Amino acid sequence: MGQPQSVFDAKGNIRIYPFPYAITHKLRQTPYNFFMRKCFLHRTIVFTWLVGAVAFARLQVALRTKKNKESWVKTRAHYDHRFFRPPHEHMPNLSC
């Protein structure tokens, strides 16, 4: 009729499936070398992720200088208006 849908056989014992049935085994059998040599898309994705990660890490370090942080505080203070604050600020404290 077809293959059984359970991991148990007719006697109730657990059947051990052959090697490639677990997801980790399938990932280990994936031909990564073939993809990297023959498929332009896979090479491009890996290269872009690596270059992008390095570039953004360096940008974060470069932009978090003391001068920039002071500028950000000054800019935020300039846009802090009373009419942008939530209305519950003027209400009594209702927390328990």
Q: What is the structure's pLDDT at 77?
A: 80
φ and ψ at residue 17, rounded to 5 degrees: -75, 155
| Identity of the highest mean pLDDT range in 10-14, 16-20, 25-29, 65-69 | 65-69
Residue 67 to residue 74: CA distance in whole angstroms: 11
Query: pTM of the prediction?
Result: 0.47
CA–CA dist 64, 57 (Å, integer): 11
* CA atoms lying within 13 Å on the CB side of residue 94: 4
